[in-house]
Structure 1
Amino acid sequence: MTGAAKPVGLHALVLAILLALHFVLPDYHHGVLARVLTLATFALGYNLMFGYTGLLSLGHALFFAAGLYGLGMPMQHLGWSAEVALPFGIAFAALLATGVGALALRTQGVAFMIVTLMFAQAGFLTLLYFNEFTRGDEGFVIAQEARSLFGISLADADARYIAALILFAVAMIATLILVRSPAGRVLVAIRENEERARMLGYDVARYKLLAIVASGAMCGAAGAAYGLLFGYVGATFASVQYSILPLLWVLLGGAGTVLGPLIGTAFMTYLIDLGSGLTDAYMLLAGAALVLLTLFAPAGLLGEVRKRWAGWLP
């Protein structure tokens, strides 16, 4: 297999395995993996900014929540169908990312991280302030009969898994295409040496904004899909916790790798799930695993594989 065909073959194999798991997993793990695939899409969006462009954000919960509420609020209060609310939620997240990106890119480094965190906190507090409509931390449930897309009920476990897999597959393929395109190469160049990229004549600010908007749209798609697939919308998803989690997932799996976000999300989800069955102090187990990975696999699980054995991994 040629060097160019290897990544395509690997990613196609991963999608085939995920599809095969749909038919063999027990009910519990079937549901958990559907959630993992949805949140891995969120991590993929974060990875576009952090892993490939080098922009450290602590505000991505804002974009996830924008997609979540962009879908949930019109369905709850205006009676919109899922077919209309889903693209609206994604578009709302992309529009918000455009505004936030245009302002945040006036800063750099730590200041950029703090500004994105402030925007996310402002969004979280806004959701709490308008509790009458958003239901705040309590949230609200989207009725099962409304969770139907083109006549297919996504409240059904089988349909939910396939929908989550399609969402992840589209996001993964889009990421793979982007990072292998000339624009993606420029993003990596900016990550490695921003000044040199600027000296070569690239409009660094425009490419950074492109990365933020693409990242925000993908995170918004994950948020909208989460509301539609699992039927819950709440302000918790806009809290700082959901800005830190995608960073951890990406670091665990391998920043700047296409499959890293999936590996990191699955690893963290099952570590916490299994640990909670052993002890109430399950977060200590998660913390210990994170410390060990930081010490012995600083590039992340897939990042170490790429560094040591498979340099062709995108």
Structure 2
Amino acid sequence: MNARILALHGGLLALLLVLHFVLPVYHHGNLARIMVLACYAIGYNLLFGYTGLLSLGHAMFFAAGMYGMGMPFHHLGLGAELAFLAGIGTAGALALVVGLLALRTLGVAFMIVTLMFSQAFYLMILLAARWTRGDEGLVLAGADRVLFGLDLTDPDIRYLLALGLFALCLSAALWLVRRPFGRVLVAIRENPERAELLGYDIFRHKLAAVVVSGMFSGAAGAAYGLMFGYVGASFAEVHFSIFPLLWVLLGGAGTVIGPFFGVLFMFYLIDISSGLTPAYMLIAGVALVLLTLFAPQGLAGEVRRRWLRWLP
């Protein structure tokens, strides 16, 4: 792999590690959340940015990972390690089923079908209130949130585990998009007819992209629930499917590093503007419109277009 690419992505991880020792408490906690959510955005980017499939239902995979972890953890006393794997497995299985059905459609129809599946999943969470606690959600006992002997209620441990998960997702995404599989996904995005003419199985590659994307998102959901001790239906709502789309567009669709900067930018844009006025969404909306107008390829996308052509 190109040394410049490794240096750039490794430099970001090194910077995040250094920030662990110097950030004030408030920003330290924020950055831990941002890194977990960035894993969710990376998963979405694999489907949208690299494969060209616009989903409006990705919250169901994030929530599937969260509830797939949280319910056996809360009700069955399953250990955090196995519960985390159960969350990823649940999200992957759901992504496989949804992919097999939704990929029978194209374009806008795919977007609508994924939205419908997501809404059905959200309603299922509410209707199964006996186990999910409905709108109240599940509060995971702090004393039980121990992963490989590490106390997840400790902010320092939580930050380092969030960094570890982000490093794993970032590295896996970088490896995937630079492998032949990733090149085929880009070919499908650019010209599916030509890719099919070259002998590639379009449906199989799209299905694999949906499953991998769902597992990334499920890992983020399971980690979020474990680290912050709450599993709630709000994470399955429509707006939580819109967020990753905005994060990827702002950071740069089709760039490995872009989703992180999209999450970081939007998180602090809302955080800062909410401290200035109750109409903070108006400020956030104006800023997003300006960024879209003057940096249409997103933050990392514009950097790639203007200066770093080799940026993956």
State the distance in 1 between where 2:191 and 2:172 align.
24
Structure 2 letter corresponding to 1:296: F
212, 216, 219: which one pairs with 1:218?
216
Q: CA shift at 1:43, angstroms?
A: 0.3
* Structure 2 unaligned blocks of 5 or more: none
Which residue of 2 is the match for residue 273 of structure 1? 271
Extract unaligned runs of 5+ from structure 1. Answer: none
Distance, in Å, in 2 between the alignment partners of 1:237 and 1:293 is 26
Following the alignment from structure 2 to structure 1, what is the Cα–Cα distance between the partners of residues 73 and 218?
A: 16
Partner of 1:137: 135
The match for 1:235 is 233
Report Cα offsets for 1:204-247 as digits up to 9, x if no partner.
10000110000000000000000000000000000001100000
The residue number in structure 1 matching 2:178 is: 180
CA distance in 1, matches of 2:69, 2:161: 16
Tell me the alpha carbon deviations over residues 140-180 of structure 1, each in whole angstroms, 9 at most, x when there is no partner.
Answer: 21000111001110110000000000000000000000000
- In the TM superposition, residue 139 of structure 1 has moved relative to its aligned partner by 1.0
Q: Which residue matches 1:65?
A: 63
Please tell me whether residue 254 in structure 1 is matched to residue 252 in structure 2. yes
The whole-number CA distance in structure 1 between the counterparts of 2:290 and 2:284 is 10
Q: Distance in 2 between matches of 1:188 and 1:83?
A: 34
Return the offset for 1:137: 1.8
Q: 1:82 maps to which residue?
A: 80
Q: Counterpart of 1:14? A: 12
The Cα of 1:132 is off from its aligned counterpart by 2.0
Which residue identity is paired with 1:4? N
- Give 3-state SS (helix, strand or coil) of 1:278's partner: coil
Among residues 160, 167, 171, which one is paired with 2:165 in the alignment? Answer: 167
Q: What SS does the corresponding residue of 2:275 show, helix, strand or coil?
A: helix
Runs of 4+ more than 6 Å apart:
none
Q: Secondary structure at the match of 1:53?
A: coil
Q: How far apart, in 2, do the equivalents of 1:64 and 1:147 lie? A: 19
Does 2:280 match 1:264? no
Q: How many residues align?
A: 312
Percent sequence identity over aligned pairs: 66
Q: CA RMSD in A?
A: 0.7
Q: How does 1:21-100 map to 2 (within 5 A)?
A: 21-100=19-98
TM-score, reference length from structure 2: 0.99
Task: Please give the alpha-carbon distance, in whole angstroms, between the structure 2 residues aligned to 1:137 and 1:312.
Answer: 46
Greater mean alpha carbon deviation, residues 126-135 or residues 93-102: 126-135
1:268 counterpart letter in structure 2: M
Q: What is the letter of the counterpart of residue 262 of structure 1? A: F
TM-score normalised to the size of structure 1?
A: 0.98
